[in-house]
Amino acid sequence: MRSVWAARTRGELERATADLPALPPEPGRRPVFSDTDGGTAMRVLTIVWAGLTAVNLVIWGIISLSAGALYPWWVWVAGPAGAVLLVL
């Protein structure tokens, strides 16, 4: 304990703590979708949902730019299906 408190550099601390066990490795990042059939299905459903949402958002944006600000109806297309995907 005295050598740890007396240490002035990291090298001195490394010598004092050399006999301690190494830290466990950092856990890797978990994939968003599993490699099972269910994970593949969720991946496909999410891609379909994102594509439909993007198309509806672009259509709404083009119409809003040409006709003025409109009610954001694309939320009714994206919202319920997105909520179901989040629950799943």
Structure tokens at 29: 């990042």
**Mean pLDDT, rounded, of the chain:** 88
* Domain-embedded: residue 60: yes
* Domain-embedded: residue 52: yes
* Domain-embedded: residue 80: yes
Find the radius of gyration of the CA atoms of the chain.
27
Q: Is the pLDDT of residue 45 over 90?
A: yes
Q: Can you give the pLDDT at residue 30?
A: 79
Distances (CA, A) of 53 to 1, 11, 19, 20, 60: 62, 56, 57, 54, 10
* Domain-embedded: residue 24: no
pLDDT digits (tens, 9 = 90+) for 2-19: 888 888 888 888 888 888
Q: Which domain, by its residues, includes 60? A: 32-88
Q: Which helix (H) or strand (E) holds 27?
A: none
* Domain-embedded: residue 16: no
Q: Can you give the pLDDT at residue 24?
A: 86
* Domain-embedded: residue 51: yes
Q: Can you give the pLDDT at residue 55?
A: 95
Q: Can you give the pLDDT at residue 6?
A: 85
Q: Can you give the pLDDT at residue 4?
A: 81
Question: Number of structural domains, the chain?
Answer: 1
Asked if residue 53 lies in contact with residue 77, where contact means CB atoms within 8 angstroms, the answer is yes
* Domain-embedded: residue 36: yes
